[in-house]
Chains A and B, each alone.
Chain A
């Protein structure tokens, strides 16, 4: 036996070095594969909400405002979820790289495949309504989520001077009029002249609407087009009195 072999064997004996158990390696691999899988799923969820927000975006409005579509897209892209998706693609790649097969794939190919998988999962979740529910849950419970993700749309529908006004219906009035409270807590009387909305089931108190039209005076707006808010909207906290009544009923 030569010198190096002797030294190594002596050290192994002296320090009682043993081969690490197989389960340790299996556990490590499982963790990496598990985290990789989880990153793919979360990426899919992010993709589903991106799809949901794109599908419920107000694509007809740029025309009305005379804005360019690219500028509108730039303004209303769901950046929060794009960042989340990108981050989890990165995390998935890191974990995949640490598996036995990860080194075989270039980063660029991995990103393309990952995006495709996220889009497929995303469409699946979107079609089952999961994207809408997840977005609503975030809206209702995550602080700053509306600010981060929905603010551009809310701001867009707070431009009565430009013919766009959104808000919550608080009172139905006579002669196709109703009162709303806008997103800056200002009250407006809406004169509904939209023949389509007149035919449809009546506008109810409590729903959020989007109206296109023109401002008549400081608190009156004539709507030529009305629709229910597309997508989700953050529920306002209910007054204590109403919550107590609900609890008694339940």
Chain B
């Protein structure tokens, strides 16, 4: 079963519901991380949400279009469900964990050509400040690009936004990031 593709697993699940466990096993960890990155809720709450997401996925299996990757499709369901959950509970998603902030710091720094000899602690402080100030739409894109390592096409599909918009959001996040660094007198970087 491990060697079967997601598309094959979907076909088999539609014939025999028990086979859904293979898809769940494959995506459980990834999606749990993603849920917590979107919301920074507890492990227990994240697992509850994940169960709801898997059930929703199962119910909508006949809507899966094999033209797209299954992983992108289930990420879209996850994103929509988490956002919908916070809308209903009227809670605000919490910020990223310290660990994820660190990963984000390294990846953004690398992607945006910030010199590696900068005081990492200082940059991390600046980035935490930036991320705190960042609009949700920028954070969502940054999480998918740098933490979930999705490409532009996949991000566009998951967030249901045009690719051009995704690129614009990332560029704006980059500009805001630079502004914060400049505000903290960190100007010695290539643009």
Please state if B21 and A5 are interface contacts (CB–CB under 8 Å).
Answer: yes
- Chain B, interface SS category: helix
Within 8 Å of chain B (Cβ to Cβ): is A67? Answer: no
Instruction: Report A12-64 residues with CB < 8 Å from chain B CB.
Output: 12, 17-22, 24-25
Please state if A4 and B51 are interface contacts (CB–CB under 8 Å).
Answer: yes
Please state if B58 and A19 are interface contacts (CB–CB under 8 Å).
Answer: yes
Name the residue on A nearest B13 (C-beta). Answer: A19
CA distance A20 to B160 in the complex (A): 22
> What chain A residues lie within 8 Å of B24 (beta carbons)?
4-5, 8
Name the residue on A nearest B31 (C-beta). Answer: A4
Please state if B20 and A2 are interface contacts (CB–CB under 8 Å).
Answer: no
Which residue of B55, B63, B164 contacts A17 across the interface (Cβ within 8 Å)? Answer: B55
Please state if B54 and A8 are interface contacts (CB–CB under 8 Å).
Answer: yes
Name the residue on B nearest A100 (C-beta). Answer: B65
Please state if A20 and B54 are interface contacts (CB–CB under 8 Å).
Answer: no
Please state if A2 and B25 are interface contacts (CB–CB under 8 Å).
Answer: yes
CA distance A9 to B160 in the complex (A): 29
Please state if B21 and A9 are interface contacts (CB–CB under 8 Å).
Answer: yes
Please state if A12 and B17 are interface contacts (CB–CB under 8 Å).
Answer: yes
Separation in Å of the B162 CB from the closest CB of chain A? 5
Separation in Å of the B161 CB from the closest CB of chain A? 6
> What chain B residues lie within 8 Å of A18 (beta carbons)?
17, 59
CA distance A19 to B18 in the complex (A): 13
Please state if A9 and B20 are interface contacts (CB–CB under 8 Å).
Answer: yes
Separation in Å of the A93 CB from the closest CB of chain B? 13
Within 8 Å of chain B (Cβ to Cβ): is A7? Answer: yes
> What chain B residues lie within 8 Å of A2 (beta carbons)?
25, 28
CA distance A103 to B163 in the complex (A): 9
Please state if B157 and A103 are interface contacts (CB–CB under 8 Å).
Answer: yes
CA distance A169 to B152 in the complex (A): 69
CA distance A128 to B32 in the complex (A): 60
- Chain A, interface SS category: helix
Within 8 Å of chain B (Cβ to Cβ): is A79? Answer: no
Please state if B156 and A17 are interface contacts (CB–CB under 8 Å).
Answer: no
CA distance A24 to B54 in the complex (A): 20
Please state if B50 and A104 are interface contacts (CB–CB under 8 Å).
Answer: no
Within 8 Å of chain A (Cβ to Cβ): is B62? Answer: yes
Assuming the contacts A4-B54, A12-B58, A22-B62, asked whether A103 and B21 have C-beta atoms less than 8 A apart, the reply is: no
Which residue of A12, A19, A100, A104 contacts B14 across the interface (Cβ within 8 Å)? Answer: A19
> What chain A residues lie within 8 Å of B14 (beta carbons)?
19
Within 8 Å of chain A (Cβ to Cβ): is B8? Answer: no
Separation in Å of the B144 CB from the closest CB of chain A? 15
Separation in Å of the B59 CB from the closest CB of chain A? 6
CA distance A19 to B62 in the complex (A): 7
CA distance A105 to B165 in the complex (A): 9
Please state if B62 and A106 are interface contacts (CB–CB under 8 Å).
Answer: no
Give 1 or 0 for each of A54-82: 1 = CB within 8 Å of chain B CB: 00000000000000000000000000000
Within 8 Å of chain A (Cβ to Cβ): is B103? Answer: no
Name the residue on A nearest B47 (C-beta). Answer: A4
CA distance A12 to B58 in the complex (A): 9
Give 1 or 0 for each of B15-48: 1 = CB within 8 Å of chain A CB: 0011011001100100000000000000000010
Name the residue on B nearest A15 (C-beta). Answer: B55
Separation in Å of the A12 CB from the closest CB of chain B? 6
Which residue of B20, B25, B160 contacts A103 across the interface (Cβ within 8 Å)? Answer: B160
Please state if B62 and A20 are interface contacts (CB–CB under 8 Å).
Answer: yes
Assuming the contacts A19-B14, A22-B62, A25-B62, asked whether A11 and B21 have C-beta atoms less than 8 A apart, the reply is: no
> What chain A residues lie within 8 Å of B20 (beta carbons)?
8-9, 12
Which of A's residues lie within 8 Å of B, judged by CB? 1-5, 7-9, 11-12, 17-22, 24-25, 100, 103-106
**Given contact pairs A22-B62, A25-B63, A103-B162, a sample of 16 additional A-B residue pairs in the complex whose CB atoms are under 8 Å apart:** A2-B28, A5-B24, A5-B28, A8-B20, A8-B51, A9-B18, A11-B55, A17-B55, A17-B59, A18-B59, A19-B14, A19-B58, A22-B63, A25-B62, A103-B156, A103-B161
11 sample A-B contacts, Cβ–Cβ < 8 Å, listed by A number: A1-B25, A2-B28, A4-B47, A5-B21, A7-B51, A9-B20, A12-B55, A19-B60, A21-B62, A106-B164, A106-B165
